[in-house]
Structure formats: structure tokens, C-alpha cells
Amino acid sequence: MDSSRPSDHFDSPSPSITQPKLGFVGYLRFFWRQLTSMRTALFLLLLLAFAAIPGSLVPQQTSDPNGVVQFKTDNPDLYPVLDSLQVFNTYSSVWFSSIYLLLFISLIGCIVPRTKHHLAALRARPPRTPARLERLTGFTSISATADAATALDSAASLLRRQGYRIERFDGSVSAERGYLRETGNLVFHSALVGVLVAVGLGGGFGYSGQRVVVEGQQFVNVLGDYDSFNPGRFFSSDFLTPYRIGLDTFDVDYETENQNAIGLATYFSANVETTDADGKTDTASIKVNEPLAIGNSEIFLLGNGYAPVLTVRDPDGKIVWTDEVPFLPQDAYLTSVGIIKVPDGLAEQVGMIGLFYPTVDTLESGALASTFPDLNDPLLTLRVYTGDLGLDEGIPKSVYALDPVGLTPIAGGDSDVASLQLKVGDTVDIPGGLGTIEMSEVKRFASFDVHHDPSGLWVLIFAILILGGLLTGLFVPRRRVWIKVKPGTDGQVTLEYAGLARGEDPGLENAVTDIAAKHSQLLGLRLNS
Amino acid sequence: MTELFETYSVIAVYSALAVYTLAFIAFTLDLAQRSAPAGQVTKSGVVASASGGRTTALLERLATDAPATGYGSGKPSVPLRLAMGFTVVAWLLHVAAAVLRGLAAERVPWANMFEFSLTATAIIVGVFLASQFWQDLRFLGVYITGFVILLLAVASVNFYVPISPLPQSLQSAWLVIHVFVASLGTGFFAIGAGLSVAQLFQARREATGAGPRFLATLPSAAALENLAYRVILVGFVFWTFTLIAGAIWAQRAWGRYWGWDTKEVWTFIIWTIFAGYIHARATRGWRGSRSAWLAVVGFSAVMFNFTIVNLFFKGLHTYSGL
């Protein structure tokens, strides 16, 4: 945009001009002018808003990866088309990125010349008083009996007190104020660039990782101890500050009185013991909305659930497998699903799919369901399979999934035997004389999200600058005011006042009449025009 | 106590709806009266814009302390005064409903879809009433009351949920700030959109002479555009604050300040549209009706974000309670 104009200046209609022939450099300059023009910036801005829409209609890989998988299953024909258009990664797609990069280039092309121009304006003196003030905003003329020099002096001091920068000319005072408007404007736009740079660069030095910890277990902040880990572009493993946290207890409060919200969790707290690199220990609690800052990272409480403690013995009573198995919650009453894989020690490989009900009840249909999320009457049911679990091929398998295809059901499911049912302390036989399984107790687990994002602080600083720049850039009026003293006959003078808005300034007229009134008051005059 | 307050709150909501309906009828009657032949209208002196030059207008304004738009400096019609009276009464009932709901729940009354609607509409009417001290915007009464009746009625009938305690994710001071300022911004955008619609009608009348006759009693298209711009500027500042406050809360609650959650996306889209609106005024060929359309599109996006996104889109902001 034209750098010599304030941002909200209203352009006059474009005059029709005959264009000269442009060479290569001429065309480069032409495209640069086009790109940095306000029309193009506005077009890109609106295009950006439009381009953001698909990402809200279709699940995104970053925020909802399961949704993307589901979408693929539900729309097998549409998925490849959308995927090739990068719609599942809208906000890092080529088309979305190119719009905002063009917009920011256009923005920088606007900020730089405007900053230069503003720096010059900050040093400049107010301009010469126009010869005729009559056509300017708020023109007021008063004839009075006063000394011309005194009138000029008081005009100058009045304007200076109101924060104007003044320049005295022969018979008039020229004043300008509101330089902060353009300063705020430039701060706002520069801070937008700042946010983009901070996000782009700072994000690369961060990382996030997830880990499920059962009560009594510990988590050490090294790469190998995470369940999943997303490093930034410039990540190296020495970004991980050494510490250890152990989950002592996990507290939950459930609503029991309000009939409309029975079972709603109103309070979670993961009570942990922390150990830093020097071996100093401390206790802390991690809650929703209250992350724990430790090392250079923050630990967030993301989820929780139950982890039954299960032990499998062979027919001789020898323990072949024992674990605290985190079960993934499926509903608000924490009906949870867990997978048990026993590859060694029994006559055959055994896999089990477990359903855990913290407070079990039988529905009218005969199906089991959980009716409250707390451990009032816990029950574990197990479908049991034998066969090759596929663990010996060296291919990593999810611990949260068991594909029963190719396995032989021996309890529950398609088998003739009912599912195994265990209450706390129960030991039951695995069908076929394979051995026994025991549920000795039920612990809780917490899932933690560990984040390190050095961009956060910078983004916050720029965000505050954005807000500050917006407020000053929009609401500080930039205006020029002139006061003219015209000597007349018999000691009479004519005092003239007028203003000029530089940018949006709805209060200018009132400001000028106010100055006229105050000035008259200073001179001891009554308004007699 | 809780149930008593909850019941009183519901009674207050339905009473407010009834009185808003009276206000809506009275506002409509006022517009109908303004459509009367010009001879009757001048009696109330509403065609001030046609009379006198600059200086006289200035003097008149100083003398009568009438609004700067130079319209409606005469005595308001009986229906208009009734309408404003009804609106104030309905609003007091409306605010009482929100306060009672808050007292019953022992928290701020904006934690699910019914409560968002209840409080946000109260804020919209509050902004409308407060803006009368600044400018005479009573001609927007039909639009504001009509809009609020629709939203509040749908909320009370379809979105009503009994009081339930806050899930821990909402137990934060940011719930108070973030949601309240977002509602405040919505109030300003609503009035801005109303002014822009009036501007579009007025611009068409000024160009072709077509349109309802009451438009003659409204400010000129240029004056309406200036008013809309100033109202939307305030809304834009609140919206910017909402975005920033939301990002700070997201950082504390979810460990990231921005994650392109559906609600975040739409808040961003709205911010961008209104940023475009503000720039459009300085862009050749965009001032006037084109920028007015942007204001209307922007407010439609706000409503889309509030209704469709809250109810049907999957995301982290699933607090509708439905």
C-alpha cells in the first residue's frame, strides 16, 4: 500500500493511465507492487479465512488421527482424493502454507516502507498552516478583542498541554498529535510476523511425548521410556532434562448427589514424587488445568483409567506372566478394554481381550454394563484365544490391540465356553487345562503428556504486543489542528480554528470546537460568534 | 436452594421471552409508523438531515444534545418509547435469569450450550441498551429483539439441561474471562451486522429509491457505515483478546496454545474476516457495500461457530452438555 498514507486512508478512485512497456525488472517491480498492494493483501486475507474451512470439516492428522482412520473406512472412495489434496493436513498443506506465506511477504513489504516513513514523520515538524482553513473539519471563527501575540502564545501552550507537537508560523500555530496510532499499527503488524516466526522456529526445538503410568510405577525422562514421542524438527536427545517421576496415588472425586450428573468426575489429582538430576526428591500433584513444570518441560494430566493387576500361572502353579495392564476407558462410566498377551510359559500362546466394569450391573438385555465410574463392584470378563500371537516375527505390535483372526477362541466369543469372569481376589481356570489367571487388585493409571515448547513464551510476548498495538493503532486519533490569529482594525482579532483527520477520527469536530472554547476561556473571552 | 433458584431462573427466562415479544411488536409498529407519508413524519422532526448546512447542524446538536447522526432529534413515537421500556424490563428479567442460574449452580452461568445462549443473548441486549447512551440505535430494536427471541427460545426449548457441576477442565479463571469476553465481542458484532444490513438497504435506496419507506428516517448509508465500523472495531478488539486468552488457557489445559481444534479454526476464520473488514475500508473499491457484506458474512460465521460448530463438529470444545 501507499506508505505515505495512514493505514485507514480512503484511496481515491484510480486514475486511468497509459502504462509504459515493462522490462524484466519492470515486471518484477510490477509484481512486487501488486503483491504488496492493499487489494492483494485483502484478497489473501479473505482467501486464508476460506482455506481454513476444510480443516474444520474433515478430521486432521495432527489433532484427530483416529478420526482420519475412521474417515478412510467410512469414505474409501473420497479418502484418496482428499488425501492427495492434503486436506487431512490442511494447516501444513502446500496450498494453505503458500497463502499465508504470500500474505506475510505482502505484509513485510508493507511494514518496511511504512516504518521508514513513520520514522521520518516522527522527526518531522508539523506542516505549514494552510492559507484557507474554512473548508477543513470543525472550522470555527471568533472575532474578539485581544492581543495577537498573547493569543498565539496561549494557543501554543494550550495545544502543547493537550499533547500536540507544535510549530509556530507567522500568525498561526500548526499542531499535530497521535503519532502513537501509526506506531501501534506497525507494532501490531510486526508482532503478527513475530508470531509466525516464533511458531515456525520455536516449535522445531520442542518436543512432546506421552506416557501411561500406573500407581506405584515410575517414569524416567529419557527417550526410551516414552510410549510415544513427537520430536520437533531440530530436536536432539540432550533437550531432555534428566528427572524421574513416580505416581504414588491417583485421586478422583465423582459426583454422587446431583441426580443429573451422577458419576461426573469433578476432581482428578495425580500425586507424584519427583526426583531431579541431583537426586533431590519432592512431592507434587498434577491436575487438569494445573500442569507440573519440571526440568524444561511441563507435564499435563491427559487421562486416567484402571489397571487390573493380573497374574497367569501354569498348571503347576508357577507364575509365567504378571503385569499391571492399563485398560482403555470406553465411556463415561469407565467401561474399559484391555489386552493380555501371554506368549511363553503355557502349553500354547494365549491372548485375551478383557472388558472391565468398575461398578457392574446387568442390563435388561442380559448384557453387562458399568453404572458408575468408581470401584464399587468391579468385574473383569475375558475372552480367551489360543494360537500364534504374531510376536515372534520381530514386527512391533500394539499392546492395546489383538486381532483374533486366525486364533482359536476357547472362552467367550465364538467358543462354546462362557467368558471368564473375575472379581478382585478371584483366580479362575483358563479352559483346556492351560493354567489359571488371577486378578489380585485394581490400580489406577494416569496418562501424562510431557511438553517442551520454547516458542510459547515468545508467542505470548508477541500476542501482548498485538493487543497493545491494536488498541493504540485503532483508538488513538491522529490529527492536525491549526489556530490562526488574524489582526483586524481597532485592536480586534479574528481567531480561526480547524482540524484535519489523518485516518479514522470521528471525534475531530468535537475536539476542534473544544479547543476553540478552551482557548477563548484562556483569553477571557465569551464566545460571541 | 439450588432447585428453587433453578426454577425461578426458568420462570424468569420465559417471562423475559414474553416481554421481548411485546418489545418486538412495538419496535415493528414504530418502523411501520415511520413508513407513514412524509407529512406525518416531519411532525416529529426526523428529517433533520435535509435541513440546514454544517454550522446549523453543529449548533442544533450542541443545543439539543441530540445524536451526531442528525436523525431522530424529535420526540420518539409512542411505540418506540414503549418498545424501549419493554426491552429494559425484559432485559432485567433476562439478567435475573442468568444470575439465578449462576447462584443455583454456584459458578458462572456459561458452562453449557443453554447457559452460553442465556448469557450471551443477555450481553447482546446489554450492549444494545448501553449503546443508546452513545448513539440513537433504536431502529435496530426489531433486529436485536427478534434475533434474541429466536436464540433464547431455541435455547430454552431445545438446549435446556439441568444444572450439573463443572467438569475439572472448565474449573479455571479463564472460563470466566475467555467466554465472557467472547460473548461481549459477539454482542458488538451483532450490532455491527445490524448496522451493516441497514447500510446495505440504505445504499440501495440512495441509489435506486427502492426499499421500505422507514429507511428515510434512518441515517445515511455513509453514516451507518461509520457507526458499523466503530462498533465492529470494539468487537474486533474483544475477539482478539478472546483468541489470546483462549490460547493461554489451551496451553495450561491441553499443553499447547494452538492446535487447530475446530473451534479454534472458526475463531481464527472469524478474526480473519473482520481483519479483512477493517482493511476493506482502506482499500480501493471495497469501501461501502462490499465491506458491509464482509461484516454480515463475519457475523454469520460467529453464529455458525456458536451453533453448528458447538453442536455438530467434533473437537475439544465439546461443552454443549447435550
- Give the mean pLDDT of A95-124: 93
Distance CA A461, CA A187 (A): 12
Share above pLDDT 90 across residues of chain A, in percent, rounded to a whole number: 59
pLDDT reading at A478 higher than 80 = yes
Cell numbers 471563527: residue: A141
- Taking a C-beta distance cutoff of 8 angstroms, is the pair A349, A342 a contact? yes
The confidence score (pLDDT) of residue B64 equals 31
Cα angle value B202/B205/B207 (rounded, 5°) = 110
Q: Which of B3, B242, B265, B308 to mutate to test the interface with A (most CBs of A within 10 A)?
A: B265
What was the pLDDT predicted at A404? 82
- Residue appearing with cell numbers 479473505: A46
* Those residues with Cβ within 8 angstroms of residue A179's Cβ, 6 or more apart along the chain or in another chain: A118, A121, A122, A165, A478
pTM given for the model:
0.86
Four-CA torsion B92, B98, B100, B101, nearest 10 degrees: 160
What does the pLDDT read at residue B178? 94
Average pLDDT value over all residues in chain B: 85
Say whether residue B300 is in contact with chain A using an 8 A CB cutoff.
Answer: no
pLDDT bracket for residue A300 (50, 70, 90): very high
- Answer whether A289 sits within 8 Å of B276, measured CB to CB: no
CB contact under 8 A, A266 and B241: no
Q: Which three cell numbers stand for residue A5?
A: 498514507
Question: Residue B214 pLDDT more than 80?
Answer: yes
Query: For A264, which of B161, B164, B315 is closest by C-beta distance?
Result: B164
Residues of A in contact with B316 (CB under 8 A): 63
How far from chain centre, in Å, is Cα A104?
Answer: 19
Considering only CA atoms, which of A66, A282, A292 is closest in space to residue B314?
A: A66
Cβ contact A174:A482 at 8 Å: yes
A contacts of B161 (beta carbons < 8 Å): 260
Task: Please say if the pLDDT value at position B41 is more than 80.
Answer: no
CA nearest neighbour of A118 among A189, A185, A167:
A185
Question: Which amino acid belongs to residue A146?
Answer: A
Note the pLDDT of residue B132: 93
B-contacting residues in A 119-158 (Cβ below 8 Å): none
Residue B49 has pLDDT above 50, yes or no: no
Which segment of A16-30, A49-63, B171-185, B296-310 scores lowest on mean pLDDT? A16-30
Name chain B contacts of A13, Cβ cutoff 8 Å: 284
Residue closest to B124 by CA, chosen among B20, B214, B275, B247: B20
- Average pLDDT of chain A to the nearest whole number: 89
Which among B255, B258, B281 has CB closest to A8?
A: B281
Residue B109: what pLDDT?
93
Distance from CA of A412 to the nearest CA of B (A): 34
The percent of residues above 70 in pLDDT, for chain A, comes to 95
At B173, which amino acid appears? A
pLDDT category at B40 given cuts 50, 70, 90 is: very low
Mean pLDDT for the stretch of residues A150-170: 92
pLDDT by residue (tens digit) across A346-385?
Answer: 888 999 999 999 999 988 888 899 999 999 999 999 999 9
Per-residue confidence (pLDDT) for residue B50, from 0 to 100: 36
- For A290, half-sphere exposure in the C-beta direction (CA atoms, 13 angstrom radius) is 13
Domain boundaries, chain B: 166-322
SS (H, E, C) A60-116: CCCCCHHHHHHHHHHCCCHHHHHHHCCHHHHHHCHHHHHHHHHHHHHHHHHHHHHHH
Rounded to whole angstroms, the Cα distance separating A468 from A185 reads: 9
Interchain contact B258–A (C-beta under 8 A): yes
* Residues sharing a CB contact under 8 Å with residue B140, sequence separation 6 or more, in sequence order: B128, B191, B194, B195, B198
On chain A, the residues whose CB falls within 8 A of the CB of B304 are: none
Residue A525: pLDDT above 70? no
Residue-wise pLDDT for A51-61, tens only, equals: 999 999 999 98
On whether any CB of chain B is under 8 Å from the CB of A209, the answer is: no
Q: Domain A125-177+477-522: which CATH class?
A: alpha beta
Domain definitions of chain A by residue range: 24-119, 125-177+477-522, 207-452
Mean pLDDT across A18-37 = 80
CA distance A126 to A146: 26
Q: What percent of chain B has pLDDT over 70?
A: 87
**Intra-chain end-to-end CA distance of chain A, in Å:** 43
* Chain A CA closest to residue B274: A46
DSSP annotation of B112 reads S
Do the beta carbons of residue A219 and residue A245 sit within 8 Å? yes
Q: Which residues of B touch A181 (CB under 8 A)?
A: none
Phi, psi of B250 (to 5 degrees): -60, -35
How many H-runs (helices) and E-runs (strands) does chain A carry?
A: 10, 24
Task: State whether residue A301 is helix, strand or coil.
Answer: strand
Q: At residue A522, what are phi and psi to the nearest 5 degrees?
A: -60, -40
Contact state of B257 with A456 under an 8 Å Cβ cutoff? yes
Q: How many CB atoms lie within 10 A of CB A330?
A: 14
pLDDT tens readout for residues B59-98: 333 333 333 333 444 577 899 999 999 999 999 999 999 9
Element spanning A426, H or E: none
Asked if A14's CB is within 8 angstroms of B284's CB, the reply is yes
Flag the least confident range among A149-153, A310-314, B95-99, B179-183. A149-153
